[in-house]
Amino acid sequence: MFFKLLKEALKVKKVRSKILFTIFIILVFRIGTSITVPGVNAKSLEALSGLSFLNMLSLVSGNAMKNFSVFALGVSPYITASIVVQLLQMDIVPKFVEWGKQGEVGRRKINQATRYIALVLAFVQSIGITAGFNTLSGAKLLTTDLTPQVFVTIGIILTAGTMIVTWLGEQITDKGYGNGVSMIIFAGIVASIPEMIHGIYVDYFVNIPSDRLTSSIIFVVILIIAVLLIVYFTTYVQQAEYKIPIQYTKVAQGAPSSSYLPLKVNPAGVIPVIFASSITAAPAAILQFVSAMGLDWTWVRTAQEMLATTSPTGVAMYALLIILFTFFYTFVQINPEKAAENLQKSGAYIHGVRPGKGTEEFMSKLLRRLATVGSLFLGVISILPIVAKDVFGLSEAVAFGGTSLLIIISTGIEGIKQLEGYLLKRKYVGFMDKTE
């Protein structure tokens, strides 16, 4: 079905141009991920493969961190900055609240403020991870003398790389295909799949004694079946909808007598997982920098343990962040007050619910229930591989497999729907042309 849809879409010149443009931007990004920062020994990071926040950063950066490339931070600082700005719009800073009500002009101002905050976060985070990785046992990340100028130079390079990746993501969103941030992370994850498969092959077929080969094969088969079940379940939930019956008044000319308002069972999508990953990775990098400066305070060690997904507290913290961000982003995506207002303006109402305030309260209650289901779903899928890694002794690459699957499936579903939208629009345009 997908290939048939893609074949039909490629016949449309505009869609074909968007897809080719997106592939070109992703290619530029992938080239950048292979360019290591000058004065850095990227192979030293192999000794730190068990470090949880390194793997988290690699995930959010589209696996650019493993090479310590010029794009090593990826879009992580921009995502963190976006969260900060959205929080500031919630009646915290009046200026941001005012911008949020100014339409397109206000949106441009908010985007500009987001970029400035991302710039600062990227610089601090880049110095933090550089100093932290360099001081860890056996790392020796830097091949040059340790001077403030070296750290500042690397910080500037990584910050510039982050802003370039952010710009590339914006170009995909504006002129390409899909959401730019999601597509960049998606491309990095897909590129790492062959390496992950090779790692599993080596662990369970090459490094296993001949007398244990049969049990190893059985285990891998069970692992594949488990992955397929998770993929099916994730795809099903991500596409599931809750349909609210809608009726129209006689005042609404041309409107059907009844319809429904579809709401996703997981309204927030995969964004809360990306948010949680970024928020977990950024403070961990800063704490690593504080520890590297010789400030081995008790609270620093405690905070590092709480954020490390190798500990029960770290896993619980990661799951809690996903749950909180799911509730937060659900109400960012769907504003109950605006939804009630839009229904009233279009002459529609929910069957059995009073228009206006009653509709707003109904929508708020329903969104809380859907966010509860969505948050539990995202939390379980994200932490299940982490727990499985510790219980069954799987490789570190499997730990964030759930998060990777969520991003891949969600981006894929969004892409398919966008293709269907292009084709449907083409049919309507063709119909209008024929009637003229």
pLDDT digits (tens, 9 = 90+) for 304-336: 666 666 677 778 888 888 888 888 888 877 888
Residues 6+ apart with CB under 8 A from 426: 12
Average pLDDT of span 110-119 = 87
Q: What is the pLDDT of residues 399-434, one digit of tens each?
A: 566 777 888 888 888 877 777 777 776 655 554 444
Give the model confidence (pLDDT) of 200-220 as tens digits: 777 767 777 766 766 777 877
Degrees to nearest 5, angle at CA 191 with 5 and 35: 130
Q: Is 183 contained in some domain?
A: yes
Q: Quick one: 227 and 199 in the same domain?
A: no
In this model, does residue 278 exceed pLDDT 70? Answer: yes
Specify the pLDDT at position 136.
63
Task: Please provide the average confidence, as pLDDT, over all residues in the chain.
Answer: 77
CATH of the domain at 256: 1.10.3370.10
Has residue 389 been placed in a domain? yes
- Give domain status of residue 430, yes or no: no
Q: What angle do CA 129, 135, 139 make, to 5 degrees?
A: 90
DSSP SS3 for 35: coil
Give the mean model confidence (pLDDT) for residues 222-232: 84
Q: Is residue 428 domain-resident? A: no
User: Are residues 353 and 395 part of one domain?
Assistant: yes
287 vs 139, more confident: 287
253 pLDDT band (50/70/90 cuts)? low
Same domain for 116 and 59: yes
Final residue of a structural domain among 161, 184, 206? 206
Q: Does residue 122 fall inside a structural domain?
A: yes
Copy the structure tokens of residue 45. Answer: 């990071």
Per mean pLDDT, which range of 309-318, 324-333, 337-346, 388-397 is the poorest?
388-397
Domain boundary pick from 180, 206, 232: 206
DSSP state of 42: G
Is 417 part of any domain?
no
195 and 211 fall within a common domain: no
CA-CA distance, 302 to 148, in Å (whole number)?
A: 28
Q: Which residue range forms the structural domain that includes residue 161?
A: 1-206
Of residues 141 and 78, which shows the higher confidence score? 78
Q: Which residues pair with 242 in a beta bridge?
A: 263
Structure tokens at 141: 């990340």
Q: Looking at the structure, do residues 121 and 235 belong to the same domain, yes or no?
A: no
Average pLDDT over residues 174-200: 80
Q: Are residues 390 and 308 in the same domain?
A: yes
Tell me, rounded to whole angstroms, the distance of Cα 315 from its chain centroid.
Answer: 18
Query: Which pLDDT score, from 0 to 100, does residue 42 have?
Result: 72
Residue 262 predicted with pLDDT over 80: yes
Domains of the chain: total: 2
Assess if residue 414 is contained within a domain: no
Interval 353-361 mean pLDDT:
84
**Residues 192 and 277 grouped into a single domain:** no
- In terms of domains, do 179 and 228 share one? no
**Of the spans 53-57, 132-136, 206-210, 345-349, which averages the highest pLDDT?**
345-349
> Is 378's pLDDT higher than 80?
yes
Is the same domain home to 374 and 338?
yes
Assign 160 a pLDDT band (cuts: 50, 70, 90): very high
Give all strands of the β-sheet with 258-264 in edge-to-edge order.
258-264, 241-248, 348-350
Nearest CA among 305, 335, 301, 322 for reference residue 378: 322
For residue 416, being part of any structural domain is answered with no
Q: For the residues 287-314, what does the mean pLDDT come to? A: 67
Q: For residue 357, give Cα distances in angstroms to 26, 251, 340.
A: 46, 20, 8
- pLDDT at residue 81 above 80? yes
**Domain match, 150 and 242 both:** no
Q: Which residues of 328-337 are buried (b: 16+ CB within 10 A; e: fewer)?
A: bbbbbebebe
Q: Clarify whether residues 199 and 230 are in a common domain.
A: no
- Whether 364 shows a pLDDT value over 70: the answer reads yes
Quote the pLDDT of residue 436: 43
Categorize the per-residue pLDDT at 291 as very low, low, confident or very high, splitting at 50, 70 and 90: low
Shared domain check, 201 and 226: no
Which CA distances in Å does 76 have to 20, 170, 355, 363?
A: 25, 14, 41, 32
